[in-house]
Amino acid sequence: MEDFVYYNGKKLRKGYTTGSCATAAAKAAATMIIEQERVAGVTIITPNGIELKIPVEDQQFDVGKATCAVQKDGGDDIDATHGMMIHATVTLNNSGNITIDGGIGIGRVSQRGIAVPVGEAAINPVPRQMITKEVRDVIGEERGADILIFAPEGEERATRTMNSRLGIIGGISILGTTGIVTPMSDEGWKKSLSIELEMKKAQGFKKIILVPGNYGEAFVTDTLKINQDYVVSMSNFVGYMLKEVQRLKFEKLLMVGHFGKLVKVSAGIFTTYSKDADARAEILVANLALLGAPLSLLQQVASCLTTEAAGELIAQHGYEYVYQVITEKIQQRSQQFLKYSPHKVDIDVVTFSTETGLLAATKDVTELMEEWR
């Protein structure tokens, strides 16, 4: 395996997923039963054919049962599960079948819409396939095995993940489609956001609300009084999530966010990381200029570090209409972004400030609140 990846000029170490950890622990436990001796580590093959050598700990075994653990190593991509212990207990039987379940610290699926049925342990299909293959290779075709994956720290660690939003309760998920964690990759994050959208679609939702984060969600529930069940986070991946909404054929979309975040979309910036694109002041200055704002105001706004600070100046000079102009441009840019696909999505936008609350909306807010009840 190539152990490193280069990102923004830095050399970063790769790691392995919770799925690879569970697979290695299960394979090591099965090996200890068959060989009746401790195993210090095992080699597994990831779904894309990469060979991983993974050390194991906490080995215990007897004639028909064994337990051991693998410490999750995310490489230089430090996530909520990095460093935790993922355990597997394997119990042999004569059924010829392999069963996989989750114990303490492994979440349970409570809502439809993800790849695992309701009521089952949150161990995704690819890790299940990996575990089954590696254990089968050890025990042969005739024997069966009951495999229990557990993680004593899992319930606490899960509070740092999106599991509760996905209807996964009581612990972490065992994840991974490649078996490898690539540092600084946004793909896993995007996929988790897509999973939440797919879950909403499977539950029968035809309209959805996208917010950049917690502030947007709080505004939806506390100010607009709209049921939070409609809300899905898009983080900084505005363009990606717009395309996902279109792909899944939602009919109506409401984007609700802090003005300082969504203002970028009005200029065609669809990935809103500040490190990638921060043109908030420039966008405000351009739109204020088109409204005839005096040069002195434009210069002051250009020097502001936040849209909140700029907002004070805008209010002092009576140019609050700029928020309506920009909010409508956010809507227009989003519609243009989706114009190349035949499925049309009805888009509305609401922007707000933490200081003054509601700034602008593309439709009367009372009407929006009624539509989304």
CATH of the domain at 73: 3.30.2110.10
Contacts of 349 (CB under 8 A, 6+ apart): 254, 255, 256, 262, 327, 328, 330, 331, 334, 361, 362
Instruction: Tell me the three state secondary structure of residue 53.
Output: strand
Using CA atoms, how far apart are residues 52 and 149, in angstroms rounded to an integer?
Answer: 19
Q: Strand (E) positions, the chain?
A: 4-7, 10-13, 15-16, 41-45, 51-55, 57-61, 65-71, 85-93, 98-102, 108-109, 144-150, 168-169, 180-181, 207-211, 231-233, 252-258, 346-353, 357-361
What pLDDT is stored for residue 255 in this prediction? 98
Last residue of a domain, one of 137, 155, 181: 181
User: Do residue 72 and residue 8 come from a single domain?
Assistant: yes
Biggest CA-to-CA distance, the chain: 84
Domain of residue 325 covers 187-371
CB-based burial of residue 48 (10 Å sphere; 0-12 exposed, 13-18 middle, 19+ buried)? exposed
Q: CA–CA distance from 97 to each of 31, 255, 301, 333, 335 (Å)?
A: 17, 48, 68, 54, 52
- Asked if residue 146 and residue 58 are part of one domain, the reply reads yes
104 phi/psi in degrees, rounded to 5? -55, 135
Instruction: Tally Cβ neighbours within 10 Å of residue 355.
Output: 12
Identify whether residues 111 and 217 lie together within a single domain.
no
Which of 181, 202, 227 terminates a domain? The answer is 181
Residue linked to tokens 């996902």: 244
164 in the same domain as 211: no
pLDDT value, residue 167: 81
Per-residue pLDDT of the chain (373 residues; tens, 9 = 90+): 446 444 455 555 678 889 999 999 999 999 999 999 999 999 999 887 888 899 999 999 999 999 999 999 877 666 789 899 999 999 999 999 999 999 999 999 988 767 788 899 999 999 999 999 999 999 999 999 999 999 999 999 999 887 887 788 999 999 887 777 765 557 767 877 888 899 999 999 999 999 998 889 999 999 999 999 999 989 899 999 999 999 999 999 999 999 999 999 999 999 988 777 889 999 999 999 999 999 999 999 999 888 988 999 999 999 999 999 999 999 999 999 999 999 999 999 999 998 889 999 999 999 999 999 8
Of 181, 196, 220, which residue sits at a domain end?
Answer: 181
For residues 304 and 330, state if they share a domain.
yes
Say if residue 123 is in the same domain as residue 224. no
Q: Which residues contact 321 (CB under 8 A, 6 or more apart)?
A: 291
Q: How many domains does the chain have?
A: 2
Residues 127 and 209 in one domain: no
Does 214 lie in the same domain as 328? Answer: yes
CA distance 191 to 349: 24
217 and 363 co-located in one domain: yes
Answer positive or negative: Cα dihedral of 345, 240, 264, 216. Answer: positive
Contact 361, 340 (CB under 8 A): no
d(CA 370, CA 366): 6
Q: Could you tell me if 158 and 70 lie in one domain?
A: yes
Residues 109 and 167 in one domain: yes
The verdict on 191 and 259 lying in the same domain is yes
pLDDT (0 to 100) of residue 6 = 46
How remote is the C-alpha of 44 from its chain's centroid? 26
